[in-house]
């Protein structure tokens, strides 16, 4: 059984939540995008999800009401 991705919340705004893949040996945020979107949506509904992968790159997990729909570049959306 594959365990869910481990991530931490980096920053939360009314429109966006930023998370970071902790790379603890379980499935990555990239490979668990469906589960991550559902988990984040449950806690922070209505927000865009920007994540930093284990290589340090920032991307967006596009979703529709917590249902993962694809990836998008988010290099210009690094949290400050």
Residue 12 lies in a domain: yes
What domain range is 45 assigned to?
A: 7-77
pLDDT of amino acid 2: 66
Residue 70 lies in a domain: yes
Residue 37 lies in a domain: yes
pLDDT beneath 50: ranges in the chain? none
Residue 1 lies in a domain: no
Q: What is the pLDDT of residues 17-26, one digit of tens each?
A: 999 999 998 9
Residue 2 lies in a domain: no
Residue 63 to residue 25: CA distance in whole angstroms: 25
Instruction: List CB contacts of 32: < 8 A, sequence separation 6 or more.
Output: 4, 5
What pTM was computed for the model? 0.92
Count structural domains, the chain: 1
CB 17 within 8 A of CB 9: yes
DSSP three-state, residue 36: helix
pLDDT of amino acid 40: 97
How many Cβ atoms are within 10 Å of 22's Cβ, its own excluded?
A: 14
């Amino acid at each position: 059984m594959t365990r869910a991705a481990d991530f931490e919340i980096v920053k939360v705004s009314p429109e966006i939540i930023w998370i970071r893949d902790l790379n603890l040996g379980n499935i990555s945020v990239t490979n668990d995008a469906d589960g991550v979107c559902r988990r984040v949506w449950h806690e922070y509904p209505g927000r865009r999800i920007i994540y930093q992968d284990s290589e340090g790159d920032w991307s967006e997990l596009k979703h529709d009401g917590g249902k993962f729909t694809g990836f998008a570049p988010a290099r210009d959306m690094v949290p400050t």
